[in-house]
Amino acid sequence: MKGHVRQRGGTWVFVLDLGRGSGGKRRQKWQGGFRTRKDAERELTRVLHELNTGAYVEPSKFTVSEYLGQWLEHYAKTNVAPKTAERYAEIVKVHLAPALGGHPLARLQPLHIQTYYSQALQSGRRDGQGGLSAQTVLHHHRVLREALRQAVKWQLLARNPADAVEPPRPRRHETRTLDEEATARLLEAVKGGRLYLPVLLAATTGMRRGEILALRWQDVDLRAGTLAVRQSMEQTREGCRFKQPKTQKSRRVIALPPLAVEGLRRHKAEQAKQKLLLGPGYQDNGLVCAQPDGQPWSPGALTNAFRYVVRRAGYPGIRFHDLRHGHASQLLRAGIHPKVVSERLGHSTVGITLDTYSHVLPGLQEEAARRIDTALRAASQKIRQS
């Protein structure tokens, strides 16, 4: 393979000499738009190397915006959960397409992406009131990198330009947790209402909101004092749907404390009375936490009800998910092994548990030091007395 560089108009191009076709006609391939001769020579060298090694991918005529639309339609819709696909589509529509969509896909460079991240951090908010958070821009990076990774698989790109970009590093924020006293006060505040059982389950099992709302009575064994997490609920623009748990480890059996068993027994009896009262008007879906008529209770409605109650109870800013964090932190402080805590939470690895709740560990380290000190002093005293 041969090639040369020439100037054309106000820019530089390179021409690849592909030899002669079957009819003896000379075949050439042009690629232009380079600002300097050196840029064109550098790209020509790269393309010649890829042609000689078999790694060359024909440049796509897609723009980045056109490609991202194809990726959302033919990949995201069928490979991720509907709620996740909605979030991807919003990020593409509101942020990635306006900032990067005009570039030809084959000419998208790491510098284009890096420049977008810098601008987004400074002035990326839709209301014009400043920049996006580092965590938000990092999420944009993950979506873009995943989309471009698929472009490489589809042989539209030879390499992923997002791999050469440094995304922002968000500051690590300590997870907000409730201690035992605050949890007990919150349970008292919701006692007697519809929120009591969801709050009780979150505080005593660490279950996620969607897992609680999808829990069925057939998955609860009150005699054994256990429940099985086999499905979850998510809310999309099209409504609520049941789905598989977040990960394989999320499918788990959780041992229930007596407090939760007692609460479930009372709730089951009250639900049976409600069924009799409504008769045919009760839609029995077998759900533990449902609306008064048996229909599924949407995650958004639960969150709104919880936010209202905790504000009145004097705990503004507490999220329903913080009950899960509180459960994990309380167990770790009580000396429960992190592996057991990880299994109750349904984390894919114990490392996630340790990273998430590292702020609890300093106290555990001090307790470990105290215990080893006590044990060694006792052993030394026993040796001296013998």
Residue 314: the pLDDT is: 82
pTM of the predicted structure, to 2 decimals: 0.71
Q: What is the pLDDT of residues 236-281, one digit of tens each?
A: 888 889 998 878 899 999 999 999 999 999 999 999 999 999 999 9
Residue 212: the pLDDT is: 97
Residue 32: the pLDDT is: 75
Q: What is the pLDDT of residues 31-49, one digit of tens each?
A: 777 888 898 888 888 878 8
Residue 59: the pLDDT is: 62
Task: Kindly report the average pLDDT of the chain as a whole number.
Answer: 89
Which of the residue ranges 51-55, 104-108, 180-184, 276-280 would you say has the lowest mean pLDDT?
A: 51-55
State the average pLDDT over residues 322-341.
Answer: 91
* Residue 173 reports pLDDT greater than 70: no
State the average pLDDT over residues 273-302.
Answer: 94
State the average pLDDT over residues 166-194.
Answer: 85
CATH of 64-164, one of 1.10.150.130, 1.20.140.10, 1.20.810.10, 3.30.450.40: 1.10.150.130
**Domain 180-362, classified CATH 3.10.105.10, yes or no:** no
- Band (pLDDT 50/70/90 cuts) for residue 89 is very high
H, E, C per residue of the chain: CEEEEEEECCEEEEEEEEEECCCCCEEEEEEEEECCHHHHHHHHHHHHHHHHHCCCCCCCCCEHHHHHHHHHHHHHHHHCCHHHHHHHHHHHHHHHHHHHCCCEHHHCCHHHHHHHHHHHHHHCCCCCCCCCCHHHHHHHHHHHHHHHHHHHHCCCCCCCHHHHCCCCCCCCCCCCCCCHHHHHHHHHHHCCCCCHHHHHHHHHHCCCHHHHHCCEHHHEECCCCEEEECCEEEEECCEEEEECCCCHHHCEEEECCHHHHHHHHHHHHHHHHHHHHHHHHCCCCCECCECCCCCECCHHHHHHHHHHHHHHCCCCCCCCHHHHHHHHHHHHHCCCCHHHHHHHHCCCCHHHHHHHCHHHHHHHHHHHHHHHHHHHHHHHHHHHHC
Residue 271: the pLDDT is: 95
Residue 307: the pLDDT is: 92
